[in-house]
Structure 1
């Protein structure tokens, strides 16, 4: 009976931790999306040039990548305690999909960094300038 209680407690603890890590990933993605949206509106009203949106996409990509890493961590934690063969197969599929997403996001971030370095960006230059209410 003691061993069964300990295992039940462990499963409950892992489930709680998984939910916390999942929530962190969701929160990271949500915050990044909201920040990108606000910057999109501001930059869109000021510049109306497509190259002005490159830094916004770069920032959003970073948030998405980080959020996906948290989601993958929660999936790994979920299957860490007494996984079945089906659990492992599902984890492998989810990990492959999320790893592919991270790979393509990282590649796009790298490309956009190159564009910023080559062309410069009005949106990023403006956000680094001191203005009313901003410290340099």
Structure 2
């Protein structure tokens, strides 16, 4: 019975990683297609209603959000593996991987939050001058 539960947990971890890979793949395809559309004349203003910088920022943020979701899936898979890791060495390796993914996700989320607080069209070139 214990071996069956371990095998099922490992299978679940593999499935969770496959879901993360699918999310990353689909998000990448979506980002590439969106970015390519920006090369069409007036595409940026049709997509966001702002200039090309805002449209690029929207593509980047959307991809970043999906990558954050995928990192959460990967972390879930790591947690599942930790539950059945038989040696301290494997537990240590999984803990290191989980820590790296958590740190990546934290900083990615910080960047997304910071960009979402910026007004559209301001880009990342610095503060916007006051027109008054």
Shift of the alpha carbon at 1:81?
1.9
Poorly superposed stretches of 4+, deviation over 4 Å = none
1:119 is matched with which residue?
Answer: 121
1:21 is matched with which residue?
Answer: 16
2:3 is matched with which residue?
Answer: 8
- Partners of 2:120 and 2:74 lie apart in 1 by 34
**RMSD, aligned α-carbons:** 2.0
Q: Name the SS for the 1:24 alignment partner.
A: helix
Gaps of 5+ in 1: 1-5, 122-136
- Partners of 2:85 and 2:55 lie apart in 1 by 50
2:91 is matched with which residue?
Answer: 88
Gaps of 5+ in 2: 45-50, 124-132
Shift of the alpha carbon at 1:44?
3.0
| Residue in structure 2 matching 1:58, options 58, 61, 71 | 61
| Residue in structure 2 matching 1:44, options 39, 43, 49 | 39
1:133 is matched with which residue?
Answer: none
Shift of the alpha carbon at 1:82?
4.8
User: Of Structure 1 and Structure 2, which has the larger fraction of its residues in helix?
Assistant: 1
1:64-97 CA-to-partner distances (Å, cap 9, x unmatched) read 0000110111111012025321122112211111
Q: TM-score if structure 2 supplies the norm length?
A: 0.77
Contact 1:55–1:112 (8 Å) recurs in 2: no
